Structure 1
């Protein structure tokens, strides 16, 4: 071969080896590409929300959507990949968990009733090692985004079942613009919250905890303290959570707060699902894709020569 041909051949081989080198961090592909239920099997759950079927359509749709959101947050919390959660009919939710083996374990993780608590914050830090328990009942809990840790009292001051609603609203006060969450309590909840606020000092924090994860830790304001001193009716009508919320952050917090009133979930089905495609078919398909990829690279260089090599590099 001529010198130019040898140079082209060398450049071609260099491009191929470079492509192989770029693929090495992603090998084996099974560690990078997450397979769905149809490819690797897993667990399929069908859950029913108690009492939802008797609700009016708009209320039923809102409750089911909130359940799906809470379940998705729970899935994200545990780092589960490719989990599919969707409404099924009027009052049912279907959950598909690829790679899961034990339906009972999946039910305990996904299908348990949401637990919303308000606990007093003792201290907080970015590093959990900086927090020291002074009582055996105290707990260190992470924020939902993992950016902060909170040392909280073990016993909740209030639970979420006393909260009727939480709505995102826009402030009309020019001194405190932005979004806030308006809380709506039943009478029992307003009385209990008034008692809690009277015991807390201005500036002390109250952690909002869902399933053991802190979603917010607002500080007691002077206005909240004054409302508690005036009685439960004032708490029922005027208690809010303020902060520098984006719309998505405010919406997420409102959803978390409303989870305390979500209905219990009853398991209707829990099935182990086998992969629709066998492992041999998946392996052959993966190899076919890789071989095709390298053949295309080689064809581009042989047919278009130098420009083909440039295209391969691109």
Structure 2
């Protein structure tokens, strides 16, 4: 008897917890506003087919990825040859394949031996590039297998960045999934105008720091435009600090001018590098570059320690907030282009919900009538068990903040149908 009491008490507590977990889905907004947010937030969210929203299909720009990979290969091979004292000239740093012309052709065998060590990826063992020698020219071309591996890694990393960016915006349960080999599917329930999200996801947000070169100063350089205005900057081609070291970024306001700025913090390695480079270059302008455009180029007046800094520019508060969001989420490893965009109107969702409720209630009424007519008292107990089954399912789904879709409703109905069959067999 005592064993039965403990079992009944346990079942009762589980039923009460399930009812409390499912209750926020049925509370009116007037009552929900008086309750704690941690409780009322445990509700089911409706999917795209019920609530309406937007559907985006993003395709990765693999040509840009291959070009970036060839440029990185040129830098890596050039560094290895310079360390060995081999003089060379890169025909075109952005060209594919990479062409290195040795200034002393007799060093060709030694250069081939050095670069052969870089030809295979140490982690996967995949051959990264093929090397051809003709005269004093070395040609390096990425293999198809390595390009496929780079594409797969880029898509996997892009999925995580897209998820982080959407989560930062506060969207409810966005669906982010891989589509084919080079595309990402994004579904956003409740978003009627995806314009801002499209811009957010289409921005690579690759941030780098470069020193601005003075007129006549030697060194590899590139001309970059300002993000606003017609000014152009001649900056060092070598990156002084990578944006991947940014650990956090938040919208802020300059206390003197009231202008919107982005306050950022660096990780430990980035903070040490930033302090060292500012200490060695006092009085020199440092360009902050976002997607090949200069945001601002402040002059370093003193050592910047503590691993924090400020990005100022002609920002509106919304633009500064979006920039901070993208820096927190990280840069996309490959540009994404929107190739398909569809919007599902809320009327379609309302019709689907109304039809589902009507058919569900009609089916439930027929089942209850059948059970009561055939099994009488035992049928009533079975119907109460079905109701508790439904409430417990809704409570568990609400606890995990699951998204309810039409296939999900079909699954719930199928579960209840199987429970009815079980009750009939038991009776």
Give the alignment's TM-score, normalised by structure 1. 0.46
